[in-house]
Amino acid sequence: MGTSISGVLPSEEMKRYAATGRCPYCGVQILASGFPISTVKAFCAYVPPRALLELPSTKARRLEAEARQRQAEYSLAPYGAQVLLNRIARRMTCLKCHKTWHMWQQLQLRSNLGQTGTPTPQTSSAPKIQAPINLTNSRVLAITEDGREERAIEVERHPFSNTSRTSLATRTFEISKTVERQAQVEFSRSTTRGGEAALTAIGIGSAVWRIQQQLGERYSLTTGSAITVRESVSIEVKPMTASELIIRWKLIYARGKVKLATGLLGSGIMNVPYLVPIRLIFVPEVRDLPRGDP
Number of C-beta neighbours around residue 105 at 10 A: 13
The sign one gets for the Cα dihedral 92, 93, 94, 95 is: negative
| Band (208; pLDDT cuts 50, 70, 90) | confident
Mode of pairing for the β-strands spanning 100-102 and 91-94? antiparallel
Tell me the average pLDDT of the chain.
77
Q: Which of 186, 151, 182 shows the shortest CA–CA distance to 258?
A: 186
d(CA 278, CA 179): 10
CATH 2.170.15 domain range(s) in the chain:
134-289
Q: Please list the residues that pair with 220 across neighbouring strands.
A: none
Q: Which of 49, 47, 147 shows the shortest CA–CA distance to 90?
A: 47
d(CA 272, CA 45): 25
pLDDT tens-place string over residues 36-78: 766 776 666 544 444 444 444 555 666 666 666 666 777 788 7
Lowest-confidence range among 49-58, 75-84, 141-150, 281-290? 49-58
Lowest-confidence range among 183-197, 223-237, 250-264? 183-197
Q: Please list the residues that pair with 8 across neighbouring strands.
A: 106
Ramachandran area for residue 80 (φ above 0: left; ψ -120 to 50: alpha; else beta): left
Burial group, residue 130, by CB count within 10 angstroms (0-12, 13-18, 19+): middle
As a CATH number, domain 134-289 is 2.170.15
More confident residue, 87 or 101: 101
CA 163 remoteness from chain centre: 44
Mode of pairing for the β-strands spanning 119-122 and 133-134? unpaired
Lowest-confidence range among 66-75, 108-117, 179-188? 108-117
Maximum mean pLDDT: which of 19-28, 106-115, 186-195: 19-28
pLDDT of residue 6: 40
